[in-house]
Amino acid sequence: MLTRLKTALPFVLRDYARILPLLTLLCLLPLIPIAAQSDGFEVGASVRCKWQRIGNYYPGTIARREGDTVYIDYDDGDKETTEVRYCQLYDRDQSNRVNVNTNDTNQNASEESRIVKLESRGSNDWRQWSIQLSNGTGRLTADGHGQHMSWEIELPGQDVDVLTCIQGSQWWTKWQYRYGGNQLIAEASSRTEWKIDSVYNRLKVTTRWSNDTDQWVVEGRKGSMNINRAGGSWATWTIEDNMPGEDFHMKMAAIFAVIVATDMPHS
């Protein structure tokens, strides 16, 4: 037996010497700091992210990350939670991004509040809303009833290709339309908050309800609009436009979102 031990001992020591570095590394692993993420999407990183999967990219900074979920402080002041797959890293110093339509579209408009018109007419199965803003007019028509309504939007200008789309777990949560190659998307995070997303800007639409009165506020970089709806099923509307420099189609999209949220049956 002693002879066998003497014969095997060199081999045991040799094998132990081989695995000793590995055992040492395994013991030290808990003491070695591990980088939070290796993909570059770290806290403080400059990114361009979408707030919805089919939306547009906006610049901001990662404020917090948990797994694949990131909390973004956007440059325009918005704060949103999204996923890494909807974000892109970019270098602010080398970025030569050109924002489309960033100049005021209505330079000669008065900066004072403008009371504009929104009128509705029709029947239980057909309705039409005529909207007059400080820099243009439009018309929204709904045909049908309930979830089977079809919508038509009439807007001024060349190359207006309109597409409406209602999706989601609730049939009124999302819709979109296009005009002149630009895409606007309106999505509701709840029935009281909408976001209007275009290629260059976002608007937030929120509301305060009181019986048969809906008070909506549209907020953006260039001011705000107040939309008041009163009177139940056949409502009267008042719109106070305090954003004459904002893109006309953005404002129309916000008003359309309010109409969809208030005048379509939500069963």
- The pLDDT, as a whole number, for residue 245 is 77
Judged by DSSP in three states, 38 sits in coil
pLDDT value at residue 70: 93
How far lies 101's CA from each of 98, 110, 146, in Å? 9, 19, 36
What's residue 219's pLDDT? 84
Which of 75, 66, 72 is closest to 86 using CA atoms? 72
Q: Give the dihedral sign, CA 107/109/113/114.
A: negative
* Topology of the domain comprising 46-89: SH3 type barrels. (2.30.30)
Instruction: Quote the CA–CA distance of 52 and 173 in Å, as a whole number.
Output: 13
Buried b / exposed e over 112-151, threshold 16 CB at 10 Å, is ebbebebebeeeeeebebebebbbbebebebeeeeeebeb
**CB of 198 closer than 8 Å to CB of 250:** yes
Burial class (CB in 10 A: 0-12, 13-18, 19+), 212: exposed
CA 48 to CA 95: how far, in whole Å? 11
Q: What pLDDT is attached to residue 23?
A: 52
Please give the pLDDT value at position 42.
93
pLDDT in tens, the chain (267 residues): 555 545 554 544 455 456 556 556 556 555 444 444 578 899 999 998 876 665 678 889 999 999 999 999 988 777 888 889 889 998 877 654 433 333 333 333 333 445 567 777 777 667 788 888 777 788 877 776 655 666 677 776 655 555 454 544 444 455 555 555 566 666 666 666 777 776 666 777 777 665 566 788 888 878 888 888 887 667 788 888 888 777 777 788 788 777 777 766 544
Q: Exposed, middle or buried, 251 (CB in 10 Å: 0-12/13-18/19+)?
A: buried
Closest listed residue to residue 109, CA positions, set 190, 192, 222: 222
**Domain boundaries along the sequence of the chain:** 46-89, 114-263
Residue whose C-alpha is closest to residue 193's, from 168, 170, 169, 216:
216
